[in-house]
Structure 1
Amino acid sequence: MNLTDPSRVHLVFPAAGVGQRFGQPHPKQYTLLAGKTLLEWTLDAWKDVPFQGERILVLSGNDERGRALAARYPGLNCVKGGAERADSVLAGLAAMNAADDDWVMVHDIARPCVRRADILALLDHCQSEGRGASLARPLTDTIKRMQGDRVSTVDRRQLWAALTPQCFRFGRLYRALSLGLANAVPLTDEASAMEWMGDPVGLVSGSGDNIKVTHPDDLALVAFYLQQQGRLTPT
């Protein structure tokens, strides 16, 4: 981490989604694992990261449980999110008192296994290059494309799976999300908004255990990875 960079680093945790693919009666961030919710496991991973900036948790408008959990984390503020991820991230940015050149990291609340070393490596890359970037992993599976009844193999050598956190300058990210939403651009993550704006986006290789919880079966893998990281004691 470049300690000579005067820009602050802010955090946004989008958590306003309902997790429809998770197939449970509650949002997936409130699924319990070893006595703590996934939301808490994720926030705990960021507690000791030495960033001097604002921390925003974006929740749905009636999410009192999320607000109660957030109160346990000093300096974490809650704001109301929107219908889509991009709306929620933009709401988080709008609630910040940030300079255009400050950095903002956005991290999925459903990625509890993110490693501190990867977070700092991402910031170091952004500060060194002077541009935003995302953690990512090169694809290793053989990738197939289906068009009608025709199947073909895709060259995976230039394909990466995007992870989070993703890190960009506050001013550019705010503008990209605002304009993208105003123009009905499909924005699947922050990097896609920056790409649409024509801004260069870097990729920083992240750890394979930084998985996103999407299905209930993912919980066993999360528990294993947390144990491997020394954050969860095996029972």
Structure 2
Amino acid sequence: MQTFRFRPSALGGLLAAFTFAAASAASAHTSVPGSGTAGTAIYGIALYKPFTAMPECPFKPNSYPGTDNTYTDETPHPCFEHADRSLIGTAPAGTEMLDVMYPVGHCPEMYTSLRISLIEGIVHGVYLLTPGVDTQLHDYAFLEYKFGKPQVKRSVIVQDRMRGTYQVIKASWQRPGGVSLSFTGAADAPNAGEFTARTPQEGARQQEQYDQQQGVPKL
């Protein structure tokens, strides 16, 4: 999956450019940005809804019988790719992962990659990778503006492989419909943070997948 470089800009510019918003049916005087009862959307991708935010990326039909289709290197507009390449050319209607791609020079700021989890064609998980500690204060400020103050926020000191240390912001929110939001300024490396949005169904799917990998028998 391709990686995009962060381009610094003012928070006001981000708010004008992003379609990263919590959909709200509340009245216009709602005091907390991003609050409401209608649900949660990230880059126009709404949880609990079918994935219709963008078309599939350009692909090459299979050249020989028995071979799979392949995606081209072209990204003329925001588009999605099936993580399971055998599904190329089909509508995103099953239980699968999609990778969202952006044209070079036109990718959203703050984020380096975006993956969507579908369960029976419905969006239940959104996974964003961020540039890490260098932008975590900026990223967190934006998330707090959109979703209000988190239920949990803390800072932890992390040591890297070279025995250097850095501070990492961790925060989590609870949204309507049981949606959980989580932000980590840097996850596995200083230059790789993450933001996730998950429904309870996605959490259960991940737990089942983990149990299968660990060989945990079902009750």
If the length of structure 1 is used for normalisation, what is the TM-score? 0.25
Tell me which protein shows more strand as a share of its residues: 2
Tell me which protein shows more helix as a share of its residues: 1
If the length of structure 2 is used for normalisation, what is the TM-score? 0.27
State the structure with more CA Rg.
2
